[in-house]
Amino acid sequence: MSDLESFSNFSVNVTAMTENVGPYIQEMPDKIVSGDLFAILIALIVLYCAVFLLVKSAKYLVAFIKKFIIFTIFVLAVYIFVKEFLFKVVTEGFTPDVLVVGGFGLICGIIAVIVALSKVISANRKRKEERAKKEAEKAAAQSQAAYASATGSPAGYAGGVNGACGEQSGYGQMPPNAYANGCPNGYANGAMPQQYPPNYSQNYNYLPPQLAMLAKDNSIGMVIISLAVAEFGVFSSKTIAASTVDTGIAFFILFMIAAFIFIKLTYHNYRTGLWHFGVAFMIGLAMTFLLGYFWAGIPLDTLMSDKFFSSEALVALITGLSLSLFMSGKG
């Protein structure tokens, strides 16, 4: 085959893929309303990126929004899965597949929701702590500026003070109500506030020790749980797969490109990000085959051939990896 023919075939494939991608984007609102977990996940991640660009300076607010979005995704996925699980119990009974696979999904879902809720509460506490800290710093700066203006002295110095409040001298007299207990900022007997190391933040841990390790987004346990919950949600929801194999391959290639860009932008160490993504990909692929066959009833010949790219299995894999990347990103 000549280079001209190869280029012509490539152009035809790109045109066909573009024609399929456009309608899918247009149909996303309807898919979100109908409960398509993949469309919901993409919409929430896009919303997070928009908020991140708007308020990227507010670190703890962005962290809280991210944790809340992850919690929302888990709740939606578990809700969709539980409905399908109950439906299978009613229609099929307690078969080994329903008991073992469904039980595994239910356990993962419960753990994921508990951990995600704990992290939302923790992020909210940190956000309030940071806001209170900024307000205190602002009030202290205003107080020092007011005192300096009233006395003509550099802010924070009291004239002739030698002893309880430290050795400071030569800067005029303290106004009557400027200091409590005769010491700056109300520190009695020269006691200074508790000192913290740089970038210190209090750890709010609401989880029992058995689940504490899962609080780390990039832990293997949390990667497995997030992949399982996301894939169970996709296999249990009204998911529309790619119309053709070529379209599915195009979506997969675009996802991989976007994943590498996302890792580059959000991870401090690119190699670490690639390692995390590689581990998640292998676990997610294995889980896609297992859940696709035992839970969704997808034939093995579909999963083991190029038909995989036009099945719900590809959507489940991309959804699980997207959630895993979103959780473990360091941005």
**Separation of alpha carbons 323 and 301, rounded Å:** 27
Mean pLDDT by 10 residues, the chain (331 residues): 51 53 66 73 76 62 81 90 91 88 91 88 80 78 73 52 43 46 45 44 52 62 84 82 87 91 83 87 93 90 92 91 79 44
pLDDT value at residue 32 = 73
| DSSP reduced 3-state for 169 | coil
pLDDT value at residue 256 = 93
Q: Give the burial class of 90: count Cβ atoms within 10 A of its Cβ; 0-12 exposed, 13-18 middle, 19 or more buried.
A: exposed
80 is written with which tokens? Answer: 């969709």
**Separation of alpha carbons 130 and 126, rounded Å:** 6
**Separation of alpha carbons 207 and 187, rounded Å:** 36
pLDDT value at residue 296 = 87
| DSSP reduced 3-state for 41 | helix
**Per DSSP, what are the bridge partners of residue 180?**
183
User: What is the DSSP annotation of 197-224?
Assistant: -TT-------S-HHHHGGGSTTSHHHHH
pLDDT value at residue 145 = 74
Contact (CB, 8 A) for 242 and 251: yes
Amino acid at position 307, single letter: K
- State the DSSP H helix or E strand holding residue 166, giving kind and residue range, or none if neither: strand 166-167
Q: Give the burial class of 174: count Cβ atoms within 10 A of its Cβ; 0-12 exposed, 13-18 middle, 19 or more buried.
A: buried
| Nearest alpha-carbon partner for 73 in 35, 103, 102, 107 | 35
175 is written with which tokens? Answer: 């106004």
pTM: 0.64
CA triplet 315, 320, 323: central angle to 5 degrees?
125
Helix orientation angle between 245-266 and 3-26, rounded to the nearest 10 degrees: 80
**Separation of alpha carbons 69 and 78, rounded Å:** 14
User: CB atoms < 10 A from the CB of 116, how many?
Assistant: 26
195 DSSP assignment:
P
94 DSSP assignment:
S
Region of residue 163 (left: phi > 0; alpha: psi -120 to 50; beta: else): left
